[in-house]
Structure 1
């Protein structure tokens, strides 16, 4: 396929997904579909609605805005409470969808969105923390910091503090990134481990470093996007902190690029084990890299030369995994359904574990990032 054909296909693909989805039954939330349970407020839908709102901003097409508003309005009540969401669950994943409330509030001025923003902010007020001050990933994972959590919570936190709280929590957010750099970055590769257990009690944690054993691609992807999303929301008065995160972001992109597959432009599920039996080129993390880099270049946080790396990742993913079904509908494959650490499934962070999780089509953890990268691609045209 030519690049123009790919971009045209992606527009059709998004239309197909939203035409077959609602807040009660989003076709892109494969975990929910497989569970057979009613939908709840969750980060997966949040990722897709972020992509739809980005498409609205880039194209001006009202259908993306209407879909996003209808979706979120199913959850957000007039008093600012959010159906199925409990702040006291202390799950950072549930903060992610909150970013979209700022956009809807700016566009429509409906006070229920402002109240719902406060509802989500209330979770972070009492979210348990490590002794060094980082949010626990979830209440059920004590003393643990996961890279995923930076994407889920920090952009919302930075935006809230900048807009509504005189930037009081912005330094706190910055320090959480610096702690991750201190504890979770591997000096040899420049890559970051998926998880860190301050208590060193979990079976997956290295007894000396507290880190999990491997570099999972999507966790790195979430982390790269977290940095660029936070930079976008930071006030320039925070000059030193802004420069600190920007330097960290640029260094991370440089280091990650070394692991980009030469032939396809994609990245491997476990990043530093290319070609190992069971490993595979994975869609979601590759798309997150493409999006983070394209956005970083657009915002002036990264040198322009890096855009070529992102375009290679973007088109390589589409060439490998975007295809037509016999009925003419489109599908995006190569998406790791889920990966975590600990829990009842004894997820030990080993290579065998990361290779064992299901690989699916059309899940928003891959679709959302690819559509976000697509919006950056069409903005460059």
Structure 2
């Protein structure tokens, strides 16, 4: 793909190279370097010892490596082999919808796309059986009085986080498994879009354009807004999950030629959300804050997983044509700048030749006070896959520009 002139100019400005040597600026291919480091640490393989986020870690690695295998075909075999290893590990823990899959948050569904790719036909296999179990787990997942999916075991609480896993898998499974004209297909796609809308309706702040972490349908949580049930703060990574969910689900709806009405609804939300995200970027660093709309508040800090997610969303949104042309130059500039910040500040070159990743906050839960002090007081993790896999995706988008 020909690189637009404004992209080459931005690269030249930010990296100190001429437009004609843009390609040389990307010779390091940080996406691949970080991916090889993830493999060396054997991250993204379920062991049953990694807690409730282990299924998400596996699914996120699979999604990042799938993108790499597509863009770097010469290395595809390496990534595909690791995707298979990761996906196979999940079959031990997610293959029974009611017995074990539902013991994980909705994030478990992030593994579904790789499982489907590894079982392109309905021939019985551990991959297909687990993909089917994950689909069944959506039907068995508890719901609130508005038919909104609970994120986890917390009664009647729904999180932005789960949409990254639900949207793409629910869409892909439905469009590749059910007859297009069936009422079952329409009902599933309607439900998928409805889950996005329900979270938006409860958590959207009309003055900032941003979404808070989640909501309590009963309005009984200590943090719940008495009218909407919304939690009070915009946590960067949860907003990142939702933003990527919109983008990646739209892409699947496009590829699978779903009825246009589904794409239209999600695309409207993506185009409404991105300008709000852009407004909250830190002008000094080019990153995003742990609590997105509390810039500079004591205790707040630039967080590396959310920054990577927004970089990816901005750049991929432009590449796929999902953002208005007038917004594209700004989105590209900010996406590139954010990835450069991550590379310069949070990527650590180890003595053994691998890359490590810093500045990623531990899991933040609404099973808490959900106060500002809670969010900024959670530990910062070294080599969290939730940060490094997001960095792989952001870096790949930058590399695509070269």
Count of paired positions: 366
Deviation at 1:158, TM superposition (A): 1.2
1:62-98 deviation digits (Å, cap 9, x = unpaired)? 1111111122223437xx9379971343631211111
SS in 2 for 1:14: helix
Contact 1:144-1:196 within 8 A present in 2 as well: yes
1:89 aligns with 2:95: no
Could you tell me which runs of 5 or more consecutive residues in structure 1 were left unpaired when the two chains were aligned.
Answer: 27-31
* Greater CA drift, 16-25 or 229-238: 16-25
Aligned: 1:123 with 2:148: no
Aligned with 2:345 (options 279, 298, 320): 320
Partner Cα separation in structure 1 for residue 110 and residue 32 of structure 2:
24
Distance 1:39 1:244, change over 3 A: closer
Question: Cα 1:208–1:372, aligned 2, differ >3 Å: closer, same or farther?
Answer: same
Report whether the alignment pairs 1:198 with 2:213: no
Kindly report which structure 2 residues correspond to 1:132-143, keeping only aligned pairs within 5 A, or say none. Answer: 132-138=146-152, 140-143=153-156
Which residue in the other structure is 2:304 paired with? 283
Q: In the alignment, which of 231, 234, 241 is matched to residue 250 of structure 2? A: 231
Matched, 1:71 2:86: yes
* Equivalent residue number for residue 29 of structure 1: none
Mean alpha-carbon deviation: is it higher for 168-177 or for 187-196? Answer: 168-177
Provide Cα deviations, 1:299-348, integer angstroms capped at 9, x if missing partner.
Answer: 22113322222112111221221122355442211100110111xxxx11
More displaced 10-residue stretch of structure 1: 301-310 or 204-213: 301-310
1:112 to 1:350, Cα distance in 2 relative to 1, 3 A: same
Pair 1:106–1:300, CA change in 2 (3 A): farther
**What are the Cα deviations for residues 239-289 of structure 1, in whole angstroms up to 9, with x where unaligned?**
223112101101101111000011221000001111222111001011111
Relative to structure 1, is the Cα distance of residues 264 and 103 closer, same or farther in structure 2, using a 3 angstrom cutoff? farther
Q: Is the 8 A contact 1:41 1:75 kept in 2?
A: no
Partner residue in 2 for 1:309: 334
One of 321, 346, 363 as aligned partner of 1:338: 363
Could you tell me how far 1:151 is from its partner in structure 2?
1.0
What TM-score results when the alignment is normalised by the length of structure 2? 0.83
Tell me, which stretches of 5 or more residues in structure 2 are unaligned? 1-13, 16-23
After superposing the two structures, state which structure 1 stretch, 85-94 or 249-258, moved more: 85-94
Residues 207-218 of structure 1 mapped to structure 2, 5 A cutoff: 207-218=226-237
Aligned match of 1:221: 240
Whether the aligned pair in 2 keeps the contact of 1:129 and 1:136 (CA below 8 Å) is yes
SS in 2 for 1:70: helix
Which of 170, 179, 182 in structure 1 is aligned with 2:189? 170
Q: What SS does the corresponding residue of 2:158 show, helix, strand or coil?
A: strand
User: Which of residues 296, 302, 315 is equivalent to 1:294?
Assistant: 315
> 1:147 maps to which residue?
160
> What does residue range 341-352 of structure 1 map to in structure 2 within 5 Å?
341-342=366-367, 347-352=368-373
Structure 1 pair 141–12 and aligned structure 2 pair: CA distance change class (3 A): same
